[in-house]
Amino acid sequence: MKILVLNGPNLNMLGIREPDIYGKSTYADLCEMIEAHAKETGAEVEIYQSNYEGDLVTKIQEALGVFEGIVINPAAYTHTSVALLDALKAVAIPAVEVHISDVSKREGFRSISFVREYCFATIAGHGFAGYTEAMDMLMNAPGKRI
């Protein structure tokens, strides 16, 4: 299975940004873990991070006909981006929303997620492991694989 892993703004600052919330592991550590899990499970994975909403929309659009699943951590765009939701709907690729922290236990605005309307599952508060859980969910979900 070919999976696109998308990360939104400030995730490139993992290990530096609010380590009490996100931990001390870096974005490079996260990428290594995802790639190791892909190798272990036989999945093909591409990991992409951008601080720009339009770049993420373009990457979703470019996934059409290339990827069979999307793991998306929209980060701050979770709460603001109808554009990401519309892009996911347009390509109709099965997707799982991931958040490193438990957004339901943070500021009230973080409980709002536009992309959740499209994603068939959300994993929040499982740290980096949420990404591998999402990959497994995509690979094992009946009827979700194209």
Catalytic residues: 22, 99
* Alpha-carbon gap, residue 94 to 39, rounded angstroms: 21
Could you tell me if 74 and 55 are in contact, meaning their C-beta atoms sit under 8 angstroms apart? no
| Cα-Cα-Cα-Cα dihedral sign, residues 107, 111, 115, 120 | positive
